[in-house]
Amino acid sequence: MKDIILTCVQCEADFVFSGSDRLRYERLGFSEPLRCPQCRHHKSKPNDEGERKNLETKKKHYRLKYY
C-alpha cells in the first residue's frame, strides 16, 4: 500500500499514514486515524487529577469485567 497524507482533526496538521500502518490498521479492523501521532499521544495521557481518577475507574471496571 502507498503512503497517504491525512489532516488531523484536532490541530489541522498534515501527517503521513504509511502503507505499513495502513495494512496493520486494516488487519485489525480499524479505520484511518483522525488525529496525528502527537495529538493521539497527548489525548492518551491524563492531564489533570479528574481525568486520572476517571482512568483509574475505567481500569478497575476493565479488570472486574474481563478478568
Which cell numbers in the block locate residue 28?
Answer: 485489525
Number of independent structural domains in the chain = 1
Q: Model pTM? A: 0.60
In the three-class reduction of DSSP (H, G, I as helix; E, B as strand; rest coil), residue 26 is classed as helix
Which residue range is the domain that position 49 belongs to?
4-66
pLDDT tens string for the chain (67 positions)?
Answer: 899 999 999 999 999 999 999 999 999 999 999 999 999 888 766 555 555 556 666 555 555 444 4
Q: Which DSSP state fits 23?
A: H
CA-based nearest residue to 34, from 10, 4, 16:
10
